[in-house]
Structure 1
Amino acid sequence: MKKIYYLKTCNTCLRILNELQLDSDFVLQDIKSEAITVKQLEEMQELSGSYESLFSKRAKLYKEMDLKNANLTEADYKHYILDHYTFLKRPVIIFDKHIFIGNSKKTIALAKATISE
């Protein structure tokens, strides 16, 4: 599978997509206009090992809802990601059996190296 979950209104996501120089085999899904399905999220969780690793603690709603003071479970992380796209750490890049989550320089460098092999 070659897929990227991103936000087309996010400048960081767009910069990363340009940086990766993807071939046409990649499927891009704008998570705001095309919501993540339960099946898609479960596939991401299977590759990453947890819903927490997919969850963005930098989201504005995370602070507004005071979730940092809540004792969140894996089920909670799954619920919030499915409930609102902003809770998915972006971008999520899936390349074969590899998953790269977020926009850290290290993550993107690793994704680039893996994709270009």
Structure 2
Amino acid sequence: MKKIYYLKTCDTCRRILKEMDTTNYVLQEIKTEPITVNQLDGLYALTKSYEVLFSKMAKKYKQMDLKSQTLAEKDFRQLILDEYTFLKRPVIINNKEVLVGNTKKRVDIFK
């Protein structure tokens, strides 16, 4: 499976998608088509961590004062399901390989 979870209002996501050949990828814009429980659990199976999938850069992270809380894997999972902005993006799946976030070096392996 080749799939990309992204946010169309994210400049970094737009830049990465422009640089990639996305012809064989299924694109899912997470604001208009939120990630499902099954999809998130599938990402967990690839990464072995909900925290890896969680964006601590999201504005709501600061607004909800989550930094001062001790969060468990189940908390990260629920927060991502409750609020699309908590999914670190883009998430690029190329069969069994997965890229979470936007580190240039890591994105290059999918081009």
Partners of 1:111 and 1:26 lie apart in 2 by 11
For residues 78-93 of structure 1, the aligned pairs below 5 Å read: 78-93=77-92
Matched, 1:22 2:22: yes
Partners of 2:55 and 2:11 lie apart in 1 by 17
In structure 2, the partner of 1:101 is 100
In structure 1, the partner of 2:30 is 31
User: For residues 60-115 of structure 1, what are the alpha-carbon distances to aligned partners after superposition, in whole Å with 9 as ceiling and x for unaligned?
Assistant: 00001010110000000000000000000000000100100001112212332xxx
Amino acid at match of 2:20: L
Moved over 3 A (4+): none
Count of aligned pairs: 111
Gaps of 5+ in 2: none
TM-score with structure 1 length normalisation? 0.92
User: For residues 28-69 of structure 1, what are the alpha-carbon distances to aligned partners after superposition, in whole Å with 9 as ceiling and x for unaligned?
Assistant: 000000010000000001101100000000000000101011
Taking only the aligned residue pairs, the percentage that are identical comes to 59
Matched, 1:42 2:41: yes
